[in-house]
Chain A
Amino acid sequence: MRDTSNPLSARKSVLTSAVSSVTPLGQLLRNVSDNLPHNYSRRRALQLLMGSACTCCASVHANQLAYDLDVTEIARGTWAIHGRTEYFTLQNGGNIVNVSFIEVPDGVVVIDTGPSRRYGEALLHLIEKTVPGKPILRVYNTHHHPDHIFGNQVFERGSLAAPQQVIDNIIAEADGFSDNLYRLIGDWMRGTTVVAPGVALESDFEEVGGRKFSLFYLSGHTSSDLAIRDDETGVLFTGDLAFYNRAPTTPSADIDGWLESLKTLASLDRELILPGHGLRDERGGSLEQTADYINWLEESLSEAASLGFTMNEAMAQPIPDRFTSLDEVQTEYERSVVHLYLGLEDNLLPAVTVD
């Protein structure tokens, strides 16, 4: 029996088919726990199912994990969950990303879905609490990085949309991201599987539930980055093309393309920017700061590579004062050296003739 006191039960049951096709174990556990009396927790269900001491230890922890999502109305009918400006940890469970949802006349539009199934479920609860009874019409993925897509599985696949290249990137890389996230945030990932959007976006705008959204097909943070503007409120959702007071990340970056995209974003009419990480930005400081940082990254690493310094020596270079207040800057800088240095060496060390 499904617990009918659960306000989400109606919505959940609609989603069951989508979820069960991808998470047989998760669904099995849910069915088991749903069919037990109230004082039986999922942990108890796991014990019954697995019957192993080891599983018990893990699930004791699992039972205490809950995302504390901090929601802010950043514009009329527009809510943002500002993630912490940290790296993935066992403590934050990957709640490090900005996810938002918008009430449109006939429903709700969601932008990015967070780092795990558990996050996706918390997001659904929050939407239901904030905008009760409205259907979720559209869920955008701005790009394929794990903190933006691993809540996908709680939404209907037909509502999930992204540019074709983002979908291709998810299919190619998300399994690897998933392995790594299980390592980084552990039990927060329980039951999380990869779900690629069912709708490939092509047009420059979409009318969703009586609201027009402009879509901008950009790149640079990854090979495909979608920026979205709500043409009614003027809020521009940049995905990870913009970071604010949090060091930008570069695992899939093409710096020159990214700088071009930032120029495009800066030229757009808008009222407010919601960056992918960091606080909402009224004046465009996030665009300037991100451009300044990635430009410095490329220039300083180019110099180090062309002088033949090792990656470790490049990592030990001082970070300019204007960036030292960015959250996670030391960690991200060192990661960026690994991401960017090989390509720079291949271009900047002189080619020699070999016999």
Chain B
Amino acid sequence: MMSRILLQAIVTVIALTLSYALAADTRTLPEDPLNSVMWDNLAGRFFPGEVVIDQRVKVVGPHDAEDQMQVPITVDATALDNVVEIVALADLNPIPHILTLHPTRAQAFIGFRVKLEQASPIRVGVKTSDGVWHVNGIYVTAAGGGCTAPALAHGIDNWYQTLGETRALFRRETENSARLSMRMRHPMDTGLAPGIPVFYMNTVEVTSPAGDELARVELFEPISENPTLTLKPLVEDKLDELLVYARDTEANEFNFTLPVTETIKN
């Protein structure tokens, strides 16, 4: 008698669990070309709404990471119109979210470098103004340990004295587009290396002198030490400089102005 009640209880629990599970994501996600165990989870967290796999999202990176602390990735979604947001993820990093780009008045393009904890898909979702997420990615093999190793800066006693030191270039490439390449000193601590609390650059904003936002990037822990970003803001003929504002998780703020260099070279 008791066992029958127990059985009924178990069946009820299973049924309830199943119904909750089914209700959790009513979308039918496209099959993941990278066959990642994290696909359902990450799509649920980062790509709400319609999701399509789209080869027009070009994700360029090495097949094999030579340095897992500095894995170079370039995303080019300029083949899509009306891009409002670009989200980059490393599926198998302990912290998967790499960055989000809002290309307000910029091409749907970004170059960056990422720390990899192990071989992982690098997945990029590009949201267009109709709310659809266009997703593509690559698989990068790596030796591992990128996120839990201390930054090289911690081998230098006075690393904080060079915090925010910047090298940058803003160069016109076409009549209405320029390339911004910037590299800032920052340890980008993930909080996962023993004894080193989380400390990273989390915001980069690019504006015109009139104050119009051209591009905004939210950065997260996996971005490599000394973050190096490449963006392509749209520039009108009369725009001859731009302003960059950056901030880190300790509210240190960095501002600089860059003139447009008039070399067109492709």
- Given contacts A335-B66, A349-B181, whether A308 and B255 have CB atoms under 8 Å apart is no
Decide: A312 near B168, CB < 8 A? Known: A338-B66, A354-B256.
Answer: no
Contact B183 A349 (CB under 8 A): yes
Write the residues of chain B forming the contact surface with A, with a CB cutoff of 8 angstroms.
Answer: 60-62, 66-67, 70, 72-74, 111, 113, 143, 164-169, 171, 179-183, 226, 228, 230, 254-258, 263, 265
Indicate if the CB atoms of A338 and B67 lie closer than 8 Å.
yes
Let me know if A172 is at the binding interface, CB within 8 A. no
Bound: A310/B66 CA distance, A: 16
Smallest CB separation, A16 vs chain B (Å)? 33
Residues of A within 8 A of B70 (CB): 338, 342
19 residue pairs of the A-B complex, CB under 8 angstroms, read A308-B230, A310-B74, A311-B113, A312-B73, A312-B111, A315-B72, A334-B62, A339-B66, A342-B70, A346-B167, A349-B168, A349-B181, A350-B167, A350-B168, A350-B169, A351-B167, A354-B165, A354-B166, A354-B254
Q: How far is the CA of A351 from the CA of B183 in the complex (A)?
A: 10
Is A312 in contact with B74, judged by CB distance below 8 angstroms?
A: yes
- Complex: A180 Cα to B67 Cα, angstroms: 11
**Bound-state Cα–Cα, A351 to B168, Å:** 6
Knowing A310-B230, A338-B67, A353-B256, say if A345 contacts B74 (CB, 8 Å): no
B255 contact from A312, A338, A339, A355, Cβ within 8 A:
A355
Q: Which of A312, A342, A353 has the most CB of B within 10 A?
A: A312
Q: Could you say which residues of chain B place their CB within 8 Å of the CB of A310?
A: 72, 74, 111, 181, 230
> How far does the Cβ of B222 sit from chain A's closest Cβ, in whole Å?
16
Determine if A352 is an interface residue (Cβ-Cβ < 8 Å).
yes
Q: Are A352 and B143 in contact (CB under 8 A)?
A: no
Partner of A351 from the list B74, B113, B166, B180 (CB cut-off 8 Å) is: B166
User: By the criterion CB–CB under 8 Å, are B72 and A307 in contact?
Assistant: no
Q: Given A179-B143, A251-B66, A316-B60, 12 more contacts at CB 8 Å?
A: A308-B169, A308-B180, A310-B72, A310-B74, A315-B72, A334-B62, A338-B70, A342-B226, A350-B167, A351-B165, A351-B167, A355-B256
Neighbour of A352 across the interface among B66, B67, B258, CB < 8 A: B258
- Whether the Cβ atoms of A352 and B166 lie closer than 8 Å is yes
With known contacts A310-B74, A355-B256, A345–B228 Cβ distance under 8 A: yes
A335-B66, A354-B255 given; A308·B171 CB < 8 A = yes
Given A312-B74, A315-B62, A352 contacting B181 (CB threshold 8 A): no
Neighbouring B residues of A183 by C-beta, 8 Å: 143
Known: A180-B143, A339-B66. A352 touches B228 (CB 8 A): no
Task: Give the CA-CA distance A244 to B261 in the complex, in Å.
Answer: 41
Distance between B109 CB and nearest chain A CB, rounded to angstroms: 10
Interface residues of A in 323-352 (CB under 8 A from B): 334-335, 337-339, 342, 345-346, 349-352
Inter-chain CA distance A309–B181, complex, in Å, is 8
- Give the residues in chain A near B72, CB-CB below 8 Å: 310-312, 315, 337-338
Contact residues on A (Cβ < 8 Å of other chain), bracket: 20 to 34
Find out whether the CB atom of B265 lies under 8 angstroms from the CB atom of A307.
yes
Query: Which are the 9 A-B pairs with shortest beta-carbon distances?
Result: A308-B181, A310-B111, A311-B72, A349-B167, A312-B74, A338-B66, A312-B60, A355-B255, A308-B169
Q: Are B73 and A352 in contact (CB under 8 A)?
A: no
CB proximity of B173 to chain A, nearest CB, Å = 9
Are A352 and B230 neighbours in the complex by a CB distance under 8 Å? Answer: no
Q: Which residue of A lies closest to B62 (CB)?
A: A334
Q: B166 to chain A: which residues have CB within 8 Å? A: 351-352, 354
Question: A346's contact among B73, B143, B183, by CB below 8 Å, is which?
Answer: B183
| Docked CA distance A316–B183 (Å) | 21
Q: Which of A183, A307, A352 has the most CB of B within 10 A?
A: A352
Least CB separation from B142: chain A residue:
A183
On chain B, the residues within 8 Å of A207 by CB distance are none
Residues of A contacting B165 in the complex (Cβ-Cβ under 8 angstroms): 351, 354
Most chain-A CB neighbours within 10 Å: which of B60, B72, B74? B72
A204 interface contact, C-beta 8 A: no
* B113 proximity list for chain A (CB < 8 A): 311
- B176 to chain A minimum Cβ distance, whole angstroms, is 18
Min CB–CB distance A55 → chain B (angstroms): 23
Chain B residues, CB < 8 A from A311: 72, 111, 113
Residues from chain B with Cβ under 8 Å of A321 in the complex? none
Of chain A, the residue at the smallest CB distance from B184 is: A354
Q: How far is the CA of A251 from the CA of B66 in the complex (A)?
A: 9
Q: Smallest Cβ distance from A253 to chain B, in angstroms? A: 13
**Closest chain B residue to A310, Cβ basis:** B111
Alpha-carbon distance between A306 and B258 when the two chains are bound, in angstroms: 15
Q: How far, in whole Å, are A22 and B209 apart by their CA atoms in the complex?
A: 65
A233 to B68, CA, bound (A): 45
Q: Assess whether A299 is interfacial by the CB under 8 Å rule.
A: no
What chain A residues lie within 8 Å of B228 (beta carbons)?
345
In the complex, the chain A residue whose C-beta lies closest to that of B112 is: A310
Q: Which residue of A lies closest to B225 (CB)?
A: A342
Q: How far is the CA of A179 from the CA of B145 in the complex (A)?
A: 11
Complex: how many Å from CA A355 to CA B143? 38
In the complex where A179-B143, A183-B143, A308-B230 touch, is A352 in contact with B183 (Cβ < 8 A)?
no
Q: A313 — which chain B residues lie within 8 A by C-beta?
A: 74, 111
- Among A169-220, those with CB < 8 Å from B are 179-180, 183
- Closest-CB distance, A304 to chain B (whole angstroms): 11
Are the C-beta atoms of B255 and A345 separated by less than 8 Å?
no
